[in-house]
Amino acid sequence: MKMTCAQIAELVGGTLSGDGAVEITGLEELVLAGAGDLTFIGDETHAKKWADSGASAALVNHGLDVEAGERVVIGVADVDLAMAKVLERFAPPVMQVEAGVHGSAVVDASAKIGAGVGIGAGCVIGPGVVIGDGAQLHANVVVMNGSAIGAGCVLWPGVVVRERCVVGEGSVLHAGVVLGADGFGYRPSPDGRGIVKIPQIGHVEIGSGVEIGANTCVDCGKFSATVIGDGCKIDNLVQIGHNVRIGRCVVIAGKTGVAGSTIIEDGVTIGGGCNIADHLMIGRGATLAGGSQLMNSIPAGEIWAGSPAQNHRVALKEHVAIRNLPEVMKKVRKYLKDLD
């Protein structure tokens, strides 16, 4: 793939400084880029590294002091969105499953398979399953009894969709995703000598345009459904507990765990490695910083952080106070010594 800098500037609606005829053959981060590479600069810290980069051209946020010199600079309003457009052009074709059913797949006679569906090697499609037009099921996907996969969905190798689950149109489940495993429900036995498993009879409902990362698990509801709304983006290695309800366009980064029956409203952002207790409410548009341990509900629009998590302003003040504690203790010791 090759594009000239002029073509890239036109694609991203950017302002071109330098020779528009320079050809770009690859994309790379600033410190690793070489001749023929396009890189990107989004802040002052990276702008200072431009002089030492081997890149032929850079996408740069407007307002940053980055001179083209003998190279090319393309000024843009949002460097991340601009780079996304260029990445789409340079991306290799996505691996496709040939339409039809692979000879090693097992498809129950009662399943309804839409037009143009590709079912790869080793897949198992259970009774009463419905798969919408154009869906792609890569190798070793299992879709169990009564589940429905929407049109245009992509299920990568090893995905397991348990009984009665629903996946909305255009959603993507990456390798190893499990939908509808039993929720974690147990109680001590009456005799105090064992643990009683609480039956989990619900299912999972995934909206349209959802993307779920590799090896993420979404447990079925105890009674009704665990729900993930339209447009959500969930990273790898995330655990969603039973009867959690997630609104639209929520972003959850990797290694986060959400305990049962918590409600996460529209537009929430959750950083990586968070632990979220059960039966909480995270309000519309709230943000939970990475590594937080959430034990209380978050009002709409607020930013929380820390362990235990609290409003980030309070958390920052406490962090500063803790960092200053050695110096404070030194002064206290001196004061006590002076008293003696």
**Catalytic residue positions, numbered:** 242
The answer to whether the peptide bond before residue 308 is cis (omega within 30 degrees of 0) is yes
Task: State whether residue 178 is helix, strand or coil.
Answer: strand
CB atoms within 10 A of CB 300: 14
Task: Report the alpha-carbon distance of residue 37 to residue 152 in Å, rounded.
Answer: 34
Residue with tokens 């958390």: 315
Q: Mapped to the 3 state alphabet, what secondary structure does 239-287 carry?
A: EECCCCEECCCCEECCCCEECCCCEECCCCEECCCCEECCCCEECCCCE
Q: Which two tokens stand for residue 262?
A: 């918590």
Residue with tokens 């946020």: 61
Tally of residues, the chain:
340
| Strand-pair partners of 155 | 137, 173
- Asked if 52 and 7 count as a contact pair (C-beta separation under 8 A), the reply is no
| 53-62 exposure pattern, b = at least 16 Cβ within 10 A, e = fewer | bebbbbbbbe
- Asked if 73 and 20 count as a contact pair (C-beta separation under 8 A), the reply is no
Dmax (CA) for the chain in angstroms is: 91
Task: Report the alpha-carbon distance of residue 21 to residue 288 in Å, rounded.
Answer: 45
Q: Which amino acid, one-letter code, is at 189?
A: S
CB atoms within 10 A of CB 111: 17
